[in-house]
Every structure is written in structure tokens, then in C-alpha cells.
Amino acid sequence: MNNAFMMHASTSPFYPLFAALDINAKMHEGVSGRNMWMDCVVNGINARKLILDNCQHIRPFVPELVDGKPRQSYETAQIAVDLRFFQFVPGNTGILLKAMQRINTLLIRANCC
């Protein structure tokens, strides 16, 4: 009740945004939050597998081969925790973009901390 009262009493136009961020942070706290994020990762991996298996003209921006095997042949649980499945080697995918180098740099930085 107090939160609803404050939403209409505050002069800040950002109060609903701050309240939503606070609730979001609480939802993602602890084990349940990690499980929720892992479910999102698994859904994304499964969607990419379906696209790789069924689409010819649309390709997800992920390496198609990992250690010489098709990416979709690996178990989803393994893909979710192994950075090899998200690293790009310029030239392997046929797309030479500076973004690939930036993505690898960000993955390396995220992995080291």
C-alpha cells in the first residue's frame, strides 16, 4: 500500500522506474534469480539450435562449428557454461567484422574478473 501511495505522491517522474528496478533486483537475488537467468540462456540456446537446423537464410551470430563439430550437436547444458560456444575466430564464419573482435575482448574481460 505504501509503495502505491508514494507512486502517486512523488513529484519525480522516475519513481515508477526506480520502483521497477528495485523489484527487478529483488527478483534476481539469490538462487532463484540465477535459475531464472539460466532458463533464459537455455531458451536462447535452444532457439539458436532450431534456427541452425531449420533455416537456410537466417543464421544466428554464433560459431557454427566448435572443435570441428556442429554447434547444435552439443548438449544445451554444456553450451550454456562453456565460452568456446560464444567465441568467434574472424574468418571461420565468413563474416569479418570488428564487432567479432570486440565480442571476444568483452568475453575475455568478463571471464577474467
Domain boundaries, the chain: 2-82
pLDDT per position as a tens digit, 68-81:
898 889 999 999 99
DSSP 31-83: HHHHHHHHHHHHHHHHHHHHHHHH-SS---SS-SEETTEEGGGS-HHHHHH-G
- The Cα–Cα gap between 62 and 100 comes to 10
Those residues whose C-beta lies under 8 Å from the C-beta of residue 88, and which sit 6 or more positions away, are 63, 100, 103, 104
What's the gap between Cα 106 and its chain centre? 13
Residue type, 24: N
Those residues whose C-beta lies under 8 Å from the C-beta of residue 19, and which sit 6 or more positions away, are 3, 7
Global pTM exceeds 0.85: no
Categorize the per-residue pLDDT at 89 as very low, low, confident or very high, splitting at 50, 70 and 90.
Answer: low
Task: Identify which has the larger pLDDT, 41 or 17.
Answer: 41
The count of other CB atoms within 10 Å of the CB of residue 100 is: 19
